[in-house]
Structures are given as structure tokens and as C-alpha cells.
């Protein structure tokens, strides 16, 4: 028969990591740190990107510009 080359030995550290990833919701706890990170990634970062996008909307026009032309619209 010979060796079965398609089988690989499972690394115990990777098995534990995979179990932790699959069961993370069971052990999640709201702490000040997780609350702050959730707020920052759900509300703060999109708000900052939105304000920057809204304030610069229509400010530059890069279409059909040649060397020496001004890209500012106002």
C-alpha cells in the first residue's frame, strides 16, 4: 500500500486556534476595551471617512487635464 501522502499531521496549536475561532461568540464579554473598539470601527471610522469625502466632493477634477492645468475646481 505504501504511505498516504495526502494526509498531513495536524499541528496542535492550529487545532486549538481553530477551536477558539469557532467558539469565540461563547466567550465574548463586553469590556471597556471591546466597547471602545466596537464604537471606533462601527461609528467613528466611517464617520471620519464620510466627513472627509463630503468635504472634498467635487473639489478636484482629474478628467481630461493636461500638464500645467489646474485640477482644483474652486
Residue 1, pLDDT score = 55
Domain boundaries, the chain: 30-62+69-74
Residues 22-27: contacts with CB under 8 Å, at least 24 apart: none
Q: What is the mean pLDDT of residues 49-71?
A: 83
**Distance (Å, whole) CA 71 – CA 74:** 9
pLDDT band at 18; cut points 50, 70, 90: very high
Output the pTM of the full model: 0.57
Q: Coil, helix or strand for 18?
A: helix
Amino acid at each position: 500500500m505504501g504511505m498516504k501522502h495526502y494526509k498531513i499531521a495536524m499541528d496542535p496549536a492550529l487545532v486549538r486556534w481553530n477551536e477558539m475561532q469557532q467558539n469565540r461568540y461563547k466567550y465574548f464579554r463586553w469590556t471597556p476595551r471591546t466597547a471602545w473598539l466596537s464604537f471606533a470601527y462601527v461609528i467613528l471610522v466611517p464617520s471620519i471617512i464620510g466627513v472627509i469625502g463630503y468635504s472634498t466632493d467635487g473639489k478636484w477634477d482629474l478628467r481630461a487635464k493636461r500638464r500645467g492645468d489646474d485640477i482644483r475646481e474652486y
